[in-house]
């Protein structure tokens, strides 16, 4: 039983670190999720998984053999680390909920790169739905895929692209 709790403890710690690392990469780098589905999966893992993982890390405390002073110190350290993780979780939740009302969406693909079909030039809109009284703002952006999950967007001027490298999509 001790081995199961030890595995569960290290799995939860790894999960917490990976989720917070992914959140930091998405927030502070130009990387973005390739689709809304991946963004929603991440949110489910973050908002559902982090609280559960924080609670499950406590399952190892009672199964460590140590004297009372060490055990008390371990419980205090674990409590403070859990409190810190929960604080980071709460801050991220506040930012995400406020930011979640406004988002980008790909309207249509304008050009496809001939040598790398996963690189496209897309028309994107940015809007805040019912909280915004104005129309969505449109921008033309270069979308580069780095994996099936991650991509980047940069603004591009389609009058300056090399037409030999790009194929215009149908309907334009």
The CA-based angle 87-26-81, given to 5 degrees, is: 25
Q: Taking the alpha carbons of 75, 60, 52, 30 in that order, is the dihedral positive or negative?
A: positive
pLDDT at 113: 93
How do the residues of the chain divide into helix, strand and coil, expressed in percent and rounded to 5?
55, 25, 25
Distances (CA, A) of 42 to 29, 77, 86, 102, 166: 16, 28, 17, 17, 33
Q: Is 0.85 surpassed by the pTM of this model?
A: no
Tens of pLDDT along the chain (172 residues) come to 677 777 888 898 899 899 989 988 888 888 989 888 898 899 888 888 888 888 887 766 555 555 666 677 777 777 787 788 778 878 877 776 666 677 788 889 999 999 999 999 999 988 887 676 778 888 999 999 999 999 999 999 988 888 889 998 876 5
Q: Rounded to whole angstroms, how far apart are CA atoms 23 and 45?
A: 11
Domain edges within the chain: 2-99, 103-168
């Amino acid at each position: 039983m001790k081995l199961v709790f030890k595995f569960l403890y290290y799995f939860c710690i790894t999960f917490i670190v990976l989720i917070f690392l992914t959140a930091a990469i998405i927030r502070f780098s130009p990387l973005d999720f390739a689709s809304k589905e991946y963004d929603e999966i991440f949110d489910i893992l973050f908002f559902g998984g982090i609280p559960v993982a924080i609670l499950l890390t406590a399952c190892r405390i009672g199964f460590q053999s140590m004297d009372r002073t060490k055990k008390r110190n371990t419980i205090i350290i674990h409590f403070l680390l859990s409190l810190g993780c929960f604080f980071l979780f709460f801050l991220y939740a506040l930012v995400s909920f406020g930011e979640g009302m406004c988002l980008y969406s790909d309207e249509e693909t304008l050009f496809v790169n001939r040598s790398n079909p996963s690189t496209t030039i897309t028309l994107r809109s940015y809007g805040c739905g019912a909280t915004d009284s104005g129309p969505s703002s449109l921008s033309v952006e270069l979308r580069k895929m780095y994996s099936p999950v991650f991509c980047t967007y940069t603004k591009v001027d389609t009058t300056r692209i090399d037409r030999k490298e790009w194929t215009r999509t149908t309907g334009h």
